Chain A
Amino acid sequence: MTVSEKKRSGSDPESVLTHLNRCLDDAAGETLASSREALRAEGLDPAVVEADGLALIERQLGQQRLAEARGALDRLRGWIQRAADDTRDGIQQVREELLAYVAGEMPVAALYRGLESIEPEDQESLLADIRLLELWNDRDDATPGD
């Protein structure tokens, strides 16, 4: 389809002028040299425009990097705090359980969390091991001179 075939029938002068001006601006800014020439023709100093623009971009990117670094630091601080809290809680719990054991309020087995979750077969195996150790202990006691 040629351009004339797709002529915009309802284009008003304002729309046509807007399209024309934007195409003229695009052509003027096609290369760095032509964009500088166009800026000068507009009465602007390209050196000032570019220097101000570059400085602003650097400043904005720097501020964004700073904000991201602050966010990362805050996240790291939070993580360290949570780890410290968990450790403090863990130590406190062990300390309380040991005190309870020493005071005779708790069987030694209760110190080992997860003992309840051991499978019945493994529990039987553990009991068999304990009985074996007891037998060895009894035998040692009954054998003088050993």
Chain B
Amino acid sequence: MMTQQSSNDAARAFQSMGDEERRLLVNRLTLYARGEWRRRRWRAQLPEGNDAKDLALEAIIRVLDGRRAWDAQARPELLNHLRDVVDSLLSNLVRSSDHLTRSGHDADDAEAHGVPAIRHRATQQQQLEAAEELERIRSLVADDPVLCQVLAQMEEGATPKEIAIELGLEVKDVNNHLRTIRRRVERHRAAAGEGR
């Protein structure tokens, strides 16, 4: 059976991992969940009591018990499949929160604008927030020409490997630059009291 087979794929993958590999996977998935949580938070007042670690662990449970079975043939990277599961868990939280928000609206307002109008406003708001965030990140690396170049390439949709080729660097150097950008963003968020 597909589900049984696929949950066995995930079990086999976890069993073949060493302790360090499992730790790294848990850390990376938690980081991903944390980032996505923060990014989507403005869209809706997400329920308290769900943090990044819980989301990451819930994704692992669902993959291992077969509810969100992993097909190793279709999606070779287990981490990417787990990220998809985190995405859908977060989307469900946002949807349920959106529903609660809408049901809490004034009835006349909801009737006048309807659900699509509310969603359209949210999309515009989302784009505005994203544009502001990008501008903030640019200003945080403005003093370093290499970081500016790396960031510009990222904004064009390049991967670290592509940036390494474009700028004549090693991939590990590009990753070091990306970590520097991330640290600056984190420091700025911490100073501004965001995302905690």
Name A residues whose Cβ lies closer than 8 Å to a Cβ of B: 2-4, 6-8, 11-14, 16-32, 34-36, 38-39, 41-44, 46, 48-50, 52-54, 56-57, 60-61, 63-64
CB neighbours (8 Å) of A31 from chain B are: 24
Identify the closest chain A residue to B158 (Cβ). Answer: A3
CB neighbours (8 Å) of B151 from chain A are: 20
Query: How many residues of chain B get a CB closer than 8 Å to chain A's CBs?
Result: 59
> What per-residue 1/0 map shows which CB atoms of B154-181 lie under 8 Å from chain A?
1111111011001000000011101101
A18-B39 contact, Cβ under 8 Å, with A42-B186, A61-B15: yes
CB neighbours (8 Å) of A8 from chain B are: 156-157
Q: In the complex the two chains form, is B30's CB within 8 Å of A39's CB?
A: yes
CB neighbours (8 Å) of A56 from chain B are: 57, 60-61
Distance in angstroms from A15 CB to nearest chain B CB is 8
The CA-CA distance from A54 to B134 in the complex, in Å, is 36
A44-B22 contact, Cβ under 8 Å, with A3-B158, A23-B160: no
The CA-CA distance from A60 to B60 in the complex, in Å, is 9
Q: Is the interface of A mostly helix, strand, loop or mixed?
A: helix
The CA-CA distance from A76 to B23 in the complex, in Å, is 37
A42-B34 contact, Cβ under 8 Å, with A49-B26, A60-B64: yes
CB neighbours (8 Å) of B157 from chain A are: 3, 6-8, 11, 16, 19
With beta carbons under 8 angstroms apart, the residue of B24, B65, B176, B190 that contacts A29 is B24
> B114 on the interface (CB 8 Å rule)?
no
Distance in angstroms from A142 CB to nearest chain B CB is 76
Q: In the complex the two chains form, is A50's CB within 8 Å of B15's CB?
A: no
